[in-house]
Amino acid sequence: MTARIIDGKATADAILNEVRGRVLELNASGTEPTLAAVLVGDDPASMAYVKNKRRACDSVGIRSVLHRLPGDMSQSALLELITELNSDQSVHGILVQLPLPEQINSHRVIEEINPVKDVDGFHPVNIGRLVIGLDSFSSCTPAGIIELLLRADVRIEGQHVVVLGRSNIVGKPMMNLLVQKGRGANATVTVCHSGTRDLATFSRQADILIAAVGRPGFVTADMVKPGAVVIDVGINRVDDASARRGYRLVGDVDFDAVKDVAAAISPVPGGVGPMTVAMLMWNTAKAAQYATAEENSRLY
C-alpha cells in the first residue's frame, strides 16, 4: 500500500482564503485585525517561524507589528511590554515566540497575556476552557491537525487516536481537543510519552497516530498499524551538506518506510507546519472579531 498524502499546504491555503474573507468583513466594519509578534533573541529557527507568520499576515491582510528584543533582556521588561500590548486597543492578538531565553520564565510571560488576545491558546484560561469544552483560543498546531483531518475526510469520531508526546504546545491540548464531544472529536485517546513502557504496543493500536516527540524518524514502519492515518508534527533540522542551507527539515516519522504501511500520511515539510500558521491567522481574525463584539465580555 502507498499512503495518500495529506496536503497541509493546500489545506492551509484554503483556510487562509477563508480568513482573508473574514478580514475584509472586519475591515468593512472599521477594524484592522492586528497581530503583535514578540521575538526575544536571535534563535534562527524562531526568527524563521516569526518571518513565516508575518508573511502569512501580509497575505491575508492582517497587520503585524514585530517587537524584536535582545536575548539578554529582563523578564520584567518583557512583562511591561505585554502589559502595554494588552491595553493597546489596536492590537488584537499577541504572539510571544517560544522558547524564551533562560532568564525568563515563559509560564509567567504567557500568564501576563490577556486571554482574549492569546491567539496561541497557551494561557491557562484558554487551556482550562478547552478542557471543559468552552469556546476558547485553541493552540494552533492541535487545532490545525483537527482541521487537516476533517478536510482530508478522515473520520475522527470513535477512532482510537494515539498521541506521541505530552508537550503543553501540542500533546496536552491535542488530547483535550480529541476527547471533547462533537464533530471533529469524540475519539478514544491514548497519550504516550518518554515514560511510556513499550510504546510501540500502543502506537500499533492507533487508527490515527499523531507524532509530536521532536525526534527525527522516531516512528518506524513496525510501529504503525497497516491502514492507519499518520500525522507528523515534527520539524527537526538535520545536517545535510547537499542542502542549500546546510540542513533539511525532517519529521518525527520515517516517511519513506511508513508511507508503505499507512493509508494516509502528512509530509514534512508541507503537512502540519502550514496548518499551524493558518490557524494562527484564524485565531487572530477571531480575536479581532471578539474585540468588536459585545458577547466578548460574556465569553471571558
Which residues form the catalytic set?
A: 53, 97, 120
State the minimum distance, in angstroms, from the CB of residue 261 to ligand GUN. 28
Tell me which stretch binds ligand GUN (CB under 6 A): 94-102, 160-168, 187-195, 196-204.
Answer: 94-102
State the minimum distance, in angstroms, from the CB of residue 139 to ligand GUN. 7
Tell me which stretch binds ligand GUN (CB under 6 A): 91-99, 224-232, 248-256, 266-274.
Answer: 91-99
Between 60 and 279, name the residue whose CB sits nearer to ligand GUN. Answer: 279
State the minimum distance, in angstroms, from the CB of residue 22 to ligand GUN. 21
Between 99 and 128, name the residue whose CB sits nearer to ligand GUN. Answer: 99
Binding mask 227-246 for ligand GUN (x = CB under 6 A): --------------------
State the minimum distance, in angstroms, from the CB of residue 36 to ligand GUN. 12
Out of 15, 56, 94, 95, the residue judged to bind ligand GUN by CB under 6 A: 95
Three cell numbers written together for 257: 518506510
Residue ranges in 7-66 that form contacts with ligand GUN under rule CB under 6 A: none
* Per CB under 6 A, 98 contacts ligand GUN: yes
